[in-house]
Amino acid sequence: MPAFSFPKEALIGTAALGAVAVAGFLAGRRCSRLHFGTPKTSPFEKNGPLQQYVLNHSLREHPVLKKLRLMTSKYHNGFMMVSCDEAQLLANLAKLIRAKKAIEVGVFTGYNTLNMALVLPEDGRVVACDVNEEYASIGRPLWKEAGVEHKIDLRIKPAIETLDELLANDEAETFDFAFIDADKESYDDYYEKCLRLIRKGGIIAIDNVLWGGRVLKPASNDIAQKMHQLNEKIFHDPRVVVSMIGMWDGLTLAFKL
């Protein structure tokens, strides 16, 4: 199965980027490859052989997705890319609920945008929000190569504006799935707007909810504090049921009731 076998490069873009992740974290960006909080007795060492075993026995990555992942990992901001196993979980959930319309808040080179587009039906649509056209231009040729470019509606402007436009356009309760993975300062706003945009039974996935472990000891007014407050809010939010998954930098799944 050449499409799904990945000797060394499998961990590129998922695990082999620990050092850059620290740089990314310090820059206030993605920090999904930091080691933290894993008890020394746990057999599940992040980036270790057991993580490789998990990928070896679960990742069924579309060849064009793999190509995009390897391409993105060589790029200087490659650490911002979502992890392939996490993306696969999102795609599986989207497939399970027969998602037709999805929102991506924070596209980067479009790994997860492509990942979602691949599981949506022919008339499905991903509204892909980012402020940076340069990042998207790296992925776009591969969206085309995978034959799903027509399902991707890229909107280059602050995501809040795009979400407001969708609401103003009467698209509340018409989306099935949202993935929030952009500037952390606006996470609460993204959550509220996405909650209005998705239907009952729809899913909001939120990345980096553990913020490198710093949610345990947030300082006042920092991003960890905001993230912690959002985690508290969602935990008590009667509009959703929730699962928080300790995968990479923490993934919350909120299922709209």
Ligand X SMILES: *[C@@H]1O[C@H](CO)[C@@H](O)[C@H](O)[C@H]1NC(C)=O
Ligand Y SMILES: C[S@@+](CC[C@H](N)C(=O)[O-])C[C@H]1O[C@@H](n2cnc3c(N)ncnc32)[C@H](O)[C@@H]1O
With CB under 6 A as the contact rule, the residue among 4, 44, 53, 235 that binds ligand X is 53
> Candidates 35-43, 51-59, 99-107, 166-174 — which segment interacts with ligand X by CB under 6 A?
51-59
Supply φ then ψ for residue 90, to 5 degrees: -65, -40
Q: Which of residues 93-122 bind ligand Y (CB under 6 A)?
A: 106-108, 111-112
Asked whether the beta carbons of 129 and 182 are under 8 A apart, the reply is: yes
Asked whether the beta carbons of 225 and 219 are under 8 A apart, the reply is: yes
81 binds, among ligand X, ligand Y, none (CB under 5 to 8 A by kind): ligand Y
With CB under 6 A as the contact rule, the residue among 14, 15, 17, 30 that binds ligand Y is 30
**CB-count burial class (<10 Å; 0-12, 13-18, 19+) for 208:** buried
Is residue 129 within the footprint of ligand Y (CB under 6 A)? yes
Q: For strand 152-156 and strand 175-180, is the pairing parallel, antiparallel, or unpaired?
A: unpaired
Structure tokens at 77: 């901001």
Find the shortest distance in angstroms from Cβ 8 to ligand X: 8
Find the shortest distance in angstroms from Cβ 22 to ligand X: 25
> Candidates 17-25, 50-58, 177-185, 191-199 — which segment interacts with ligand X by CB under 6 A?
50-58
> Candidates 49-57, 94-102, 128-136, 233-241 — which segment interacts with ligand Y by CB under 6 A?
128-136
> Candidates 25-33, 52-60, 171-179, 225-233 — which segment interacts with ligand X by CB under 6 A?
52-60
251: CB partners within 8 A, 6+ apart: 86, 89, 205, 206, 207, 209, 244, 245
Is residue 4 within the footprint of ligand X (CB under 6 A)? no
Structure tokens at 150: 């027509």
With CB under 6 A as the contact rule, the residue among 18, 28, 37, 49 that binds ligand X is 49
CA atoms within 13 A on the CB side of 56: 9
With CB under 6 A as the contact rule, the residue among 131, 138, 245, 247 that binds ligand Y is 131
Is residue 243 within the footprint of ligand X (CB under 6 A)? no
DSSP 103-147: EEE--TT-HHHHHHHHHS-TT-EEEEEES-HHHHHHHHHHHHHTT
Binding site for ligand Y (CB under 6 A): 30, 80-82, 106-108, 111-112, 129-132, 135, 158-159, 181-183
Binding site for ligand X (CB under 6 A): 5, 7, 49, 52-53, 56
